[in-house]
Amino acid sequence: MQRTFVMLKPDVMNRGLIGKVVARFEDKGLKPVGMKMLRLDDETLKVHYAHLADKPFFPGIVEFMKRSPVVATVWEGKEAIEVGRKLCGVTNAREAAPGTIRGDYSMSIQANLVHASDSEEMARQEIARFFTDSELFGWESALVAYQYSKDEVE
Ligand code: ADP
């Protein structure tokens, strides 16, 4: 099984959407293995969004992401990274497909509600950035036999 990192951004917090966004991941069948609130600082954001550091909109992202605490989550499932990205929808929420989190709840390219890891390497780095080992929980879901076939979980 694969793990992916998902962050609920300040627009989720301020709009009271934590429950609705978490429900998307639960409803799909991903298993929560880590969840906590935290405040992001400049250093963390510089690392987390390093690939955007030279973009003109970078200072705006930093200001936005520091406006309130965020919720950091880790989800586990088969191909969880790809599934997580699909649940979120494309970056520009105006273009995101209905049925996705961004497509259903956002009109913005910046305030697009969620961050989700985009590769195995990024998931590994992001989980380690935001969670200690003792904050991550391996546990057996009672539903697994009804969410997957036997050969899918072997
Ligand atoms: P994603 O979050 O879909 O993986 P990126 O890694 O490209 O997308 O961008 C990270 C975040 O930076 C986006 O989720 C969004 O909040 C913000 N962002 C990206 N592009 C823009 C832009 N053109 N203007 C403002 N904010 C942006």
- For ligand 1, atom 27, name the residue with the nearest CA: 110
Q: What is the pLDDT of residue 141?
A: 93
Mean predicted lDDT score pLDDT of the chain: 97
48 flagged as catalytic: no
Domains along the sequence of the chain with CATH:
2-146 (3.30.70.141)
Q: Which residues does ligand 1 sit against, CB inside 6 Å?
A: 52, 57, 60-61, 91, 109-110, 112, 115, 118
Residues of the chain with pLDDT > 70, as a percent, come to 100
* DSSP codes, the chain: -EEEEEEE-HHHHHTT-HHHHHHHHHHHTPEEEEEEEE---HHHHHHHTGGGTTSTTHHHHHHHHTSS-EEEEEEEETTHHHHHHHHH--SSGGGSPBTBHHHHH---SSS-SEEE--SHHHHHHHHHHH--GGG------TTHHHHS-HHHH-
Model pLDDT, residue 89: 98
pLDDT single digits (tens) 98-151: 999 999 999 999 999 999 999 999 999 999 999 999 999 999 999 999 999 999
